[in-house]
Structure 1
């Protein structure tokens, strides 16, 4: 169902830039966000700004008519990073009505413990989110990544709902894509060092099948697509959202696009070309997108590109 407005607030991202400016679509966090004790200053306090960490978390507030619903999409990497920034931004996480996890990598779920102490919430996940994974880099014996625990989440009071297929939340106003179709010939996923445990051995895990996105249809504008890492590929994700909804207009693409580093930089050009053809009104790539891809997107879509930063609020209203 189309909505009247969606507001996406980036609580945690890899960057906090206190000098970025606001405009009619984007509101930046003030430089003075957060105040802490610091005895070296007169008055004994200083401003901290917001935390930036290699993780992602966003608050999504959807309004349709007189009804407003707020969801949390991912939770950052550190146990207290998301809640610290929420406090500094004046966000009361008690108002969150549900949680959506984009996938199981630890840099998207680490802050859940801080949230669980405040609320008892429904949580939508893909059933493969509990997959054990590791990175087997050359010259190492492999580093196993922290694995999310279903039992721990249930014990904290979360009501976990596993859904492989697309699902609708908020009275049909929010789409969670479930598994995303892989149709492009260049978005091939993770390189061989990224492995998953299959029950008997470690195997290359290129697809990260638990990767899913959150989609909202803003009336008269088109789709707003929010990704965590975009492991399925930014283009695959956007096109999949269009196929599921029947809406042919991409209004905004926000979140991690996983185009950083030598394994993914070779696909920056075709990704940017395909996204430019979709002609979104707003592109705010953050987290794992990488600076080269951000620069390419800024050059190809100068009117749409907005640099991401912790504490940024995007307001996308119906036409």
Structure 2
């Protein structure tokens, strides 16, 4: 429904050309199957493919969307070779980024290939939302994130990282805690965390959030920052300070405020 950049095609054309839709017996023309079209949902998931020189490509999944159906449906619709996805990076513990993890692992397990799940160790029991201006009334809780045991039971190889590290044969860097250095990026106001003592605690900063970086040859840093509750300026400053390289592209869902 919008004008696309050069080199891109509308999904309808891609579907007709690449998906071999069935042909109507009466008219002899192909029939669109909307069940095999991609779907959008609130949340985030991105497929990262990296390659150095003539080495084999590395395929990494960054977040998994909000629910059990969207990601696996899109993987099927786009004919993504799921067996090549060797690692899932979870940017932070919010269920619109972790909701598709277990269904993805079930799909991945059906291909008889193990998959690493890279998470921050500080998993909350539950997170909720308290809108302003007082930020003192919880209006809802987000669905619970998969537990560590859930991840293992569904075939994931659990890795917990609180500090920066490289993955995918050193082609992708996953950050540690993002330093909060700006005054105007205040996190997600009204963010709440359910604590082990049975109370809600105000948690605007979402300190478990991480970002991913790929240093593209001849270009610079490509940053994937998901929601960027830590603040996208904080993220960019940290990436530049870490790598001493220029920024080529920043991918963000929506900025933390």
Which residue number corresponds to residue 91 of structure 1?
A: 80
The offset of 1:256, in angstroms, is 1.3
Which residue number corresponds to residue 256 of structure 1?
A: 253
What is the TM-score of this pair, normalised by structure 2? 0.83
Could you tell me whether the CA contact under 8 Å between 1:86 and 1:93 is conserved in 2?
yes
* Structure 1 residues 84 and 245: CA distance shift in structure 2, 3 A: same
Corresponding residue pairs, total: 237
* Structure whose alpha-carbon radius of gyration is higher: 2
Q: Distance in 1 between matches of 2:200 and 2:33?
A: 46
Structure ranking higher in strand proportion: 1
Q: Distance in 1 between matches of 2:103 and 2:195?
A: 31
* Structure 1 residues 113 and 32: CA distance shift in structure 2, 3 A: farther
The offset of 1:100, in angstroms, is 0.3
The offset of 1:197, in angstroms, is 1.9
Mapping of 1:138-287 within 5 angstroms? 142-148=139-145, 149-191=147-189, 193-200=190-197, 201-247=199-245, 249-258=246-255, 264=257
* Structure 1 residues 44 and 33: CA distance shift in structure 2, 3 A: closer
The offset of 1:163, in angstroms, is 0.8
What is the TM-score of this pair, normalised by structure 1? 0.68
RMSD across aligned positions (CA):
2.5
Deviation string, structure 1 residues 274-318 (Cα, Å, up to 9, x no partner) = xxxxxxxxxxxxxxxxxxxxxxxxxxxxxxxxxxxxxxxxxxxxx
The offset of 1:114, in angstroms, is 2.3
The offset of 1:32, in angstroms, is 4.6
Q: Distance in 2 between matches of 1:159 and 1:150?
A: 10
* Structure 1 residues 92 and 171: CA distance shift in structure 2, 3 A: closer
Q: Distance in 2 between matches of 1:74 and 1:103?
A: 8
Which residue number corresponds to residue 118 of structure 1?
A: 107
Q: Which protein has greater RCO, CA pairs closer than 8 Å, 6+ apart?
A: 1
The offset of 1:97, in angstroms, is 1.1
Structure 1 stretches of 4+ moved >6 Å: 41-44
Residue 46 (structure 1) aligned with residue 32 (structure 2): yes
User: Which range is displaced more, 79-88 or 55-64?
Assistant: 79-88
Residue 106 (structure 1) aligned with residue 95 (structure 2): yes
Unaligned runs of 5+ in 2: 109-113
Could you tell me whether the CA contact under 8 Å between 2:51 and 2:171 is conserved in 1?
no
**SS of residue matched to 1:117:** helix
The offset of 1:141, in angstroms, is 5.1
User: Which range is displaced more, 181-190 or 196-205?
Assistant: 196-205
Unaligned runs of 5+ in 1: 1-17, 265-319
Which residue number corresponds to residue 123 of structure 2?
A: 129
